[in-house]
Every structure is written in C-alpha cells, then in structure tokens.
Structure 1
Amino acid sequence: MVEKEIVIDLANYQKGLTVSDYKKIGAKYAIVKATEDTNYINEQANLLINHSAAGGVKGFAFYHFGRFHNDAKAISEAKYFISGTKKIVNLQKGALMILDAEISNMPTSSVIAFLKEIRKAGYKAGFYTYKYLLPNFNLKKIKPYMDFFWLAAYPLGNGVKADKNPNFNYFPSADYVDLWQYTDNLLGYEVDGSISVTDNAIKLFNPEKVSKQDAPAPHKASATWKKKSGVFVLGQNLKLHKNPHIDSPAIAMLKKGSEVKFDATLQGPLRLWLRQPRSGGSYGYIVAKDKYGKLLGKFK
C-alpha cells in the first residue's frame, strides 16, 4: 500500500511563512524553486529551506521554471539550473531536480534534452506540468528520461482553501503520475499542496529509502555560525537587520564609516553575515559581502 504524504512547493512568494506556519502545515517534504530561464536564481531558497526544516520538513527537491522553445536553449537552462542551485544550496549528487513546464509551445524534444542534461550531471530528473497542458507533450516519449512525474490539477479551482485530504474522485487521468498537485492554497496558507500517489514519489526525497548507489547525501541546507570577533567598517550605508536574511526588518540604518563589532560570522554561498551582540542578550545582523560576494566595507 502506498503511504501518501503531503508535499509543499516553495518559491519566494512563501518567504513570509514562519517556522510556526510550517509546523501547522505539517508537511515533511518540500520542492523549492531554484532558478528560472537563464537569468534568475532564487535568493530566498536558503530562508525557505531553513524555516521549513525547522518547521518539520525533512526532505527537499528543487525545480526550475522553464522558458525554452528549442533543444539548445533547453540544455543551457538545464546547465543554469544545476549551477544556480549549487550557488544557493549544498546540492548533492542524486538529488531530485524537476523541470516546471507550463509555458506554451515547449517541444517534447526540448523537454527530453533538458531531462537528459540533468541525468548526465548525476541527478534524478523530474517533470512537472498542468493537466490541461498534457496534450502539448508526448508523455510516452518523455517517460524514459524522467524519474518522477508531478502533475497539477485543481478540483476546487485556484485560490480555494483545501485540506490535506484531496477528493480522489477528481484525480487527473494520466499515466505515470507520482505526485498530484491538487491545490494552490493548502490550509489557507497560499502554498501549493501535493499528495504522493506512488512509493517512488517519496523515495526520491528520502535517501534512507533508496539504495546507497542511488541515494543523494543528506541535504545540508544551512550554513553554520562560526565564533569570530572583530570590527567591520562600513563602506556604504547598510541596514542592521533583526535576523540574518536580507528581507528581515531593520533595527537601524548605519551610515558609511560606522564600525560594527561582531562576535560571529555566517558564510553563505557568496553572502557573508556578521553578528553584533546587543543589550539584553539580543543580536543585530549586517551583510559584509553581498549576494555577488562583493565586500561592502573593510575589516579593521
């Protein structure tokens, strides 16, 4: 018997969800948007992963929103998906990487070219689309190149609040489906909700349930703080944040030339955070290197 699990998918639209929200949602698996086309990387990915992991999510996959209409562009987008995801998370071989195909005039041959590139790089290849778009694709031709098929069909309509028990009388009639996305408003949190319909769906999220040969290593989503004291002199006006993520509210706006005493550092793929001890045992956080790795001041 297939053990059905709820899976949520997360993009920067969900950056406002708190750890408490994720605990109330109660999902154990999530698919995070990493890239789009060849010009977008989701800088909120680590925030989404860290908050959802703290709220109970234990397995992750990643998706790319495709914008290609030919094989050459499909291959370049697949390469961008891989390199872009590596910039924001510790991407392990064998991880599940999914193509989100929901634009018109996307050829089947180009979908296959994308999936082949993902597999060639050592990852599991997934394919996602909407039921109404299925006539645009030759699913039988795609099947040998995908490890996972994720299909969207909303029986209640867009934006309608749904619980974690979808009505399977409305299950989309299509072959090979592993994961059914049945709502875009799970429990009223405006997050897409899916349910697994095969064992394969969840096996690919959880390395403990696949062979050692095929298993992705455990996901390491978050960097760790390192104890390090010093003084950072601002090279420009910068916000002192309440939390170590770029959209966190500001405690203060510090002027160029201000000196910030810090007691710990957090190094992401490129961005570097410094932690400033404050009165009452609280902390402020400031960016020393931006998302491109550019130093925004100097260490004294």
Structure 2
Amino acid sequence: MNKIKQFAVAGLAAFFVAGGMVPAVHAAKGDHGVDWSVYQGAQGKFGYAHDKFVISQIGGYHGYLYDQSTYATQVQYAIAQGKRAHTYIWWQNITDNGTADYVLNYFLPKVQTPKGSIVALDIEDGAQNTDVIMHALARIKAAGFTPVLYGYKNYLTNNLDLQRIANSYTLWLAEYPNYEVTPEPNYNFFPSFDNIGILQFTATYVAGGLDGNIDLTGITDKGYTKNDEPKTDTPAIDAGKEADNTAKKDIAEGMTVKVNYSATNYATGEAIPDYVKGVPHKVVAVDGRKVLLEGINSWLDRSDVEILDANTQSDTAEFNGVFVVDSWQTYIGKWYARNNDMSIPVADYNNDIPVADVTLTDRYGNPLADQTAQGNNGVMEYFTLNGNYKVLEREGSAIKIEVDGEPVWLQAAFAE
C-alpha cells in the first residue's frame, strides 16, 4: 500500500479481537498473506510459499479518481497460484456521501475478485468523516462484498469514531515496530481494538519491502470455497482459473510461469538462486519435461514451475509517432517521460513511460546526438518509442503495455 511511514509506540499491548482476550502466539485463523499496489508490478509478489491470500489495490481517490493499472493481472496471477484474492480502495478527502457514491459507482463495477470477497477502504491520510465511511461500507456490503476498514490505529482513532465503525464492520489494522525483515507477527505491537480481522504486522515481510498480513478470524476465506476456489467469476478470475487448471504436461511456448519456491536445482544440476523464484517468466522453449524460460539460460524440469498464464498468443502494439515531452517524472531515482495526449485523464504515474525506451528526437523524429534530457525547464522536447510492446490489457479506449518491465496505460488511439 501507499503507506505513511510510522513507527509503533514501544510497549506490551493487550490483545483484544472482537472484544475478547486472545493468546499472544496464536491467531484464530493464522493464514499469512500480502497486499499489493502498483509497486508490486503487473504480476504481484508473494513473500513465501505458505502465503494464502492477497489484497490488491484497484485504485483510489484523493481529489480525483485513479485506476491501479496492475489490479486485474494481479488478481489473475493470484488465482492462477491458488491464492485467495481480495480488493482495496485508497480513500482520502471523501467527506460527503455524494463523493463517496461517485467513487463507489466507479470502482464497484470494476471489482475483479469474487462476490463475498473483501473490499476494503484504505484510510490513512487526509480528511475523513465517520458517517460517510459508514455509508460507504454499507454500500460495499449491499453490493455483495465483505466490507473492511484498513488503517493505522492512531490515525483512525484521531480522525474517526473508530469504535462506532468497529461495532458494525471488521477492521484491518497495521502496527509494527521497525522496518527489519519480519516473516512472523510480533504480537508485542498488536494494535488492541475490537473486531480486528486482519493484522498487517510489517512493511518488510521480505528484504526490499512487502506488506505482510495475518488473518485472525478466517475473513480472507470470504468469497471462496474450502478448496480456495472463487465462488463467482470475473474475467481476471477466468484467466487465473484457466492457468490453474492447465496441466503441466501441456506447458507450451508463450505461456507465463513462475519458478516454485521449493525448486532447488536446474536440470543441469546447478542450484537455482532465490531471486529467480516466484517471479513470472515467459516460456521460450519446451523439450520433453524440460522448459527454458526467458531471462534464464538454464533448463528446468516442468515440475519446478507453476503456470500463471496459459495464453500463448502475443498481443503487441507499436507507437510510431513523434511525441512531445510534456513533463519529466521521477520515482525512487528512476526517470519517466509523460505525454499528456497519450495519457489517460487525469495523467498520473500509471501513464509515465520509462526513459529506457525513450529516444529524444527533433520535431521530425530524427534522433538527437545528445540524449540528455533538458528537464522541466520549458524547453520543447520530442521523443519516439523504440519497441513493439507486449499488451497486458485492453479496456475501452485505453491500452496497457509493458515498457522496460513496467505496466504503462496509454490511449489506444496512438497504438498500431
């Protein structure tokens, strides 16, 4: 999630779930899971083989609506791995029912997780209103989903009547003492309150950062059968189930797979490094029981991989025009170009193009000898895009392509 960094206050917490004391070392359900935003990429990222669920960001509102371009494929890939997928919405500065309805009318029809699954409101910044949140959670329930409120206890209690909300709806609270790698909850930092269904116990579930959660009550089973099958289908679920139901003997070139965490050696005997595991790879060749994956120059036994996407068709797009750099953007030290005409209004980071695939040109498309960007200083700059890009998703007039390993939403009218 787009977390506001904060440290918990040290000290021994009492443990209350739904008003009752629970032991510090046991949870009612105990399943581990993660939550994802755009920072976990189009395929998402699990921390460990035992993870059972994910809660993925569909988008949000903080003065304007925005979609999370990675949402549908994250749901698809989670279902393909037999995980339970749920949904959350970023909720900021929504203080009247009219705006709440506007946001929910936009997002609820786009939910790709099954009926009954969690749809959480992520509330951790900006102005809030208890009555409006109660109204929104009631609407989520009326739409056939399980309403949940997410946030940090201190922020929620300072900005809302949290007890009133907890009397009717389940809480998903976050609390952790530091940013050291934490694979298991430290219950000394449990955010005591009524009706806590999920605890987010770390933002560093694995090295490099990933939110780790534990299900305290079994709420992440909502929307799924005892075999973790979704009770209702959506396009993302259909694609995920197709992959999950495809036999490994049918793995073919063009499919997308991941290397299992349990895999130990390549077919040639060398040890498989950890950074290869759990990461999506395209199958580039098949030889009997062995598969060769894009970016990995060693063969693996097919028993060591899991199918994430059974589709072997390659949908690609080119962008052959000359475009203006309306602005340069930077995130975590990486630079991106933005063209407002190509972007999906309102333009944001989902539309920004990694500079690795940008060639600076003159207005006629002739590459410049000096590829150093002038920055946001009013100088007119032009660029072309260099490749034939994999299409990750098409929706109405928009197209999502993969650029330098990242998803980018652009106007489909510019694609060829």
1:191 to 210, 216, 234: 210
Aligned 8 A contact 2:117 2:224 in 1: no
Q: Which has more radius of gyration?
A: 2
Deviation of the 1:251 alpha carbon: 8.4
Q: Equivalent residues in 2 for 1:33-112 (5 A)?
A: 33-37=57-61, 38-50=64-76, 52=78, 56=81, 58-67=83-92, 68-83=94-109, 86=110, 90-112=112-134
Aligned 8 A contact 1:49 1:221 in 2: no
More helix by share: 1
- RMSD over equivalenced CA pairs, Å: 4.4
Q: Report the TM-score, using the length of structure 1 for normalisation.
A: 0.68
Residue 180 of structure 2 is matched in structure 1 by: 160
Deviations 1:116-147 (A, max 9, x none): 2222323221111211124232234324653x
Residue 123 of structure 1 is matched in structure 2 by: 145
- Cα distance in 1 for partners of 2:97, 2:136 equals 8
- Cα distance in 2 for partners of 1:237, 1:47 equals 30
- Cα distance in 2 for partners of 1:183, 1:23 equals 12
- Cα distance in 1 for partners of 2:217, 2:41 equals 29
- Cα distance in 1 for partners of 2:65, 2:354 equals 24
Aligned residues: 263
Deviation of the 1:115 alpha carbon: 1.0
Q: Equivalent residues in 2 for 1:195-206 (5 A)?
A: 195-199=214-218, 201-204=219-222, 206=223
- Cα distance in 1 for partners of 2:213, 2:144 equals 26
Deviations 1:255-274 (A, max 9, x none): 88x997x9x98754345589
**Long gaps (5+) in structure 1:** 239-245, 275-284
- Cα distance in 1 for partners of 2:147, 2:73 equals 24
Query: Secondary structure of the residue that 1:178 maps to in structure 2?
Result: strand
Deviation of the 1:91 alpha carbon: 4.6
Aligned 8 A contact 2:35 2:56 in 1: yes
Alpha-carbon spacing, 1:248–1:234, altered in 2? closer, same or farther (3 Å):
closer
Aligned 8 A contact 1:236 1:297 in 2: no
- Cα distance in 2 for partners of 1:29, 1:221 equals 18
Aligned 8 A contact 1:65 1:100 in 2: yes
Paired AA for residue 38 in structure 2:
N
1:11 to 37, 54, 68: 37
- Cα distance in 1 for partners of 2:126, 2:357 equals 45
Deviation of the 1:193 alpha carbon: 0.8
- Cα distance in 1 for partners of 2:232, 2:164 equals 26
Aligned 8 A contact 2:78 2:85 in 1: no
**Long gaps (5+) in structure 2:** 1-26, 241-308, 324-351, 360-364, 366-383
Paired AA for residue 132 in structure 1:
N
Deviations 1:35-74 (A, max 9, x none): 11142111122444455556x4611111111111233222
